[in-house]
Amino acid sequence: MELAELIIAMKKRRRQIQADSKPANPTPDSNIPSNNRPKYSEQLSIIEISELLPAITVAHDSTSSEMKLGSTSIASVAKRTRPSCEQDDYSQGTKIMRYSGPELPEDIWCHIHALLPLPDAARAGCVSREFLRSWRCHPNLTFSQETLGVKRTFSEKICGSDTLAWKFTKIVDQIMEKRAGIGVKIFKLEHCGSRIYTRHLKSWLQVAVNPGLEELVLSLPVVYDAKYYNFPCSLLFNGNGKSISYLNLKGCAFHPVAGLGCLRKLHLSRVHITGDELGCLLSNSLVLKELNLSQCNKITCLKIPCLLNQFNHLTVFGCKTLELIENKAPNLCTVRIDTTLVRLPFGDSLRVNNLEMLWAFEYNLVYYARADLPRIMPNLETLGISSAGEVLNTPIITAKFLHLKLLEICLSVAEGAFSPAYDYLSLAFFLDACPVLETFKLSVCQTRMKHDPVSGDSSLLRKMPGHHHASIKNVKIDGFCSAKSMIELTCHILDNATSLENLKLDPIYVGGYEHVDRLTVHEIGDCSPHTGQRMIREAHKAVLAIEKYIVGKVPPNVKLNIKKPCSQCHSVK
């Protein structure tokens, strides 16, 4: 096994560990673009790097050094290395003990060091000569309040003095002034404080933007009614930006005059850029695959040219002045948007097979999706909808989603009850329009329940004969309540989904967070987001309704999972 394979194996192990504890696939309950959500880091921690070292042995010959990996013990590695501690003399006469580590080729040290996050990389440079040399040419630079540990003192907080920006600037200056002429591959800067020292910022960018730069992330503070920092486009378009594959800008003005030949991902948030300027950039960035726009309020028309053959992912959120998306890219398959495609004409959408319509203030998105989407996007395979209210029940229409396999619907209201007049059972008409649907997820977020509660004998529940959902295998309802129409919808699915395998009912809305056992997470805090007493009482009523009306209808081949309220966090007071 080579070093690269060992590192890949360690990353896979970390992904598996994180997968066991991370939230389940989130329901479309947020209007936050995906690029702003927390992401898995490909960097290894200094502890994980240390786990690699005992497995590395080095065999030297006259022409090359061949690295071998095996089950070598720490002790045996130590015997083949030079003394583990050496003394470095400084001008002040002090002597600091430094750990030298295993005797590895310098390129291996640099490769290992490059995998460390910035704080760990700096710490490693303090204890190892090899890492110190590597630190001076560390290719990946990430500057933020967290990585640099910049904080305001107590007196500064009391006086309201904003010195964070100056502290941040001084630290970054000290690092960047030593990086001149040294290639940077990844440069990420999340500016803290409310003031931008533009002269310093430009000097950092002059050092960072070089012909070998692959990723550039610049996030600047957005101060109300303040002038936006004008990004120096000449740095990118004079040839130094030719290797950039990922560009992420926030809180600045950006006026491109050309394209970037290697650009694959472009994320712009609160950026002052016009539709024509963006069109110029897109038309000359022919390998672009992903575009994410958030709160870019200078764009009225977004034109995606037909030359972008690799373009497949578009996200648009909060662009208030946007009136038209003119898509001509032939292979666009994934769209995330915060409004309906009726209000925002889209252009060619026949190849789109993944659509998310997520907006906290848009009403009747479920109705619109059922009524119009089969015509606009007939090839959808996954569909996510987040609606703030449904005044109209799901309509009965002959057009179908012939390819839809995953349907996620989130009915969410920040305060109060979700549309009491809405008939949850009408969602059966949506299911009926999806002949190959395999997974259906419904989330209901509300702070009180005003639907008519279920009561009386089960024979009084409405039935909808003649509907057969032969492909549905998995159903999950998050925020399940005792509303009569929701009980009827669940019973309808049990009666008509002949291939059903799993039914999960959770009376507590958890916003995408899921844990196998709510009680096991009390060591670190509450088992789910805060739930008010009204909905806690409703959750207990929902469990009683499940036991009375649903449990007895579950076929033996269906696994029923009822997530009951937590006895500690969800007790009725």
* pLDDT band for position 413 (cuts 50, 70, 90): confident
- 37-58 tens-digit pLDDT: 434 444 444 444 444 444 443 3
| Rounded average pLDDT over 322-339 | 91
| Rounded average pLDDT over 210-214 | 93
* pLDDT band for position 473 (cuts 50, 70, 90): very high
- 15 pLDDT higher than 70: no
Q: What is the mean pLDDT of the chain?
A: 79
pLDDT at residue number 533: 83
| Rounded average pLDDT over 345-354 | 86
Report DSSP letters for 360-377, one per residue. Answer: TT-B-HHHHHHHHHHHH-
- Phi/psi at 86 (nearest 5 deg)? -130, 160
Q: Which residues share a beta bridge with 387?
A: 411
pLDDT at residue number 81: 38
Give me the half-sphere count of Cα atoms (radius 13 Å) on the Cβ side of residue 150: 20
pLDDT at residue number 465: 80
* pLDDT band for position 174 (cuts 50, 70, 90): confident
Element (H, E) at 165: helix 164-176
Residue % of the chain over a pLDDT of 90: 48
User: Which H, E and C letters describe 46-101, residue by residue?
Assistant: HHHHHHHHHHEEEEECCCCEEEEECCCCHHHHHHHCCCCEEEEECCCCCEEEEECC
**DSSP-derived 3-state class of residue 33:** coil
Neighbour-count burial for 286-317, b at 16+ CB within 10 Å, e otherwise: bebbbbbbbbbebbeebbbbeebeebbbbbbb
| Rounded average pLDDT over 149-164 | 67
Residue % of the chain over a pLDDT of 70: 69
Q: Give Cβ neighbours of residue 278 (< 8 Å, ≥ 6 apart).
A: 256, 268, 299, 302
- 215 pLDDT higher than 50: yes
Give me the half-sphere count of Cα atoms (radius 13 Å) on the Cβ side of residue 458: 13
- 385 pLDDT higher than 80: yes
Q: Which has more pLDDT, 278 or 65?
A: 278
User: Distance (Å, rounded) from C-alpha 303 to C-alpha 326?
Assistant: 5
| Rounded average pLDDT over 352-362 | 84
Cα–Cα distances (Å) from 80 to 128, 140, 367, in that order, read 17, 31, 71
Q: pTM for the whole thing?
A: 0.76
* pLDDT band for position 224 (cuts 50, 70, 90): low
Alpha helical stretches, state H, 209-358:
234-237, 275-283
- 409 pLDDT higher than 70: yes
pLDDT at residue number 128: 61
pLDDT at residue number 122: 60
Q: Other C-beta atoms within 10 Å of 504: how many?
A: 18
Range scoring the smallest mean pLDDT among 23-37, 138-152, 189-203 = 23-37
- 198 pLDDT higher than 60: yes
User: Distance (Å, rounded) from C-alpha 296 to C-alpha 268?
Assistant: 7
Torsion of CA 167, 169, 172, 176, to 10 degrees: -150
| Rounded average pLDDT over 447-463 | 92
pLDDT at residue number 137: 64
Task: Please count the residues of the chain.
Answer: 573
Cα–Cα distances (Å) from 470 to 16, 25, 355, 419, in that order, read 33, 24, 23, 30
pLDDT at residue number 145: 85
- 227 pLDDT higher than 60: yes
- 194 pLDDT higher than 90: no
User: Distance (Å, rounded) from C-alpha 465 to C-alpha 479?
Assistant: 26
pLDDT at residue number 144: 87
Are 497 and 489 within 8 A, CB to CB? Answer: no
pLDDT at residue number 498: 93
Q: Which has more pLDDT, 528 or 190?
A: 190
Range scoring the smallest mean pLDDT among 72-76, 141-145, 160-164, 299-303 = 72-76
Q: Which has more pLDDT, 36 or 289?
A: 289
* pLDDT band for position 104 (cuts 50, 70, 90): low
Q: Other C-beta atoms within 10 Å of 190: how many?
A: 18
- For strands 474-478 and 502-506, give the pairing: parallel
Q: Other C-beta atoms within 10 Å of 135: how many?
A: 21
Name the one residue in this structure whose structure tokens are 């970390």. Answer: 14
Domains of the chain: 44-88+98-135 (no CATH), 141-332 (3.80.10), 359-573 (no CATH)
Q: Give Cβ neighbours of residue 81 (< 8 Å, ≥ 6 apart).
A: 100, 101, 102, 103
- How many H-runs (helices) and E-runs (strands) does the chain carry? 16, 23
Are 280 and 302 within 8 A, CB to CB? Answer: no
Picking from 179, 108, 115, 119, the residue whose alpha carbon sits closest to that of residue 143 is 119
Estimate to the nearest angstrom the gap between the alpha carbon of 322 and the chain centroid: 24
pLDDT at residue number 569: 78
| Rounded average pLDDT over 87-92 | 41
- 524 pLDDT higher than 90: no
* pLDDT band for position 513 (cuts 50, 70, 90): low
Q: Other C-beta atoms within 10 Å of 538: how many?
A: 25
Name the one residue in this structure whose structure tokens are 């240390």. Answer: 50
Picking from 319, 318, 349, the residue whose alpha carbon sits closest to that of residue 334 is 349
| Rounded average pLDDT over 8-23 | 54
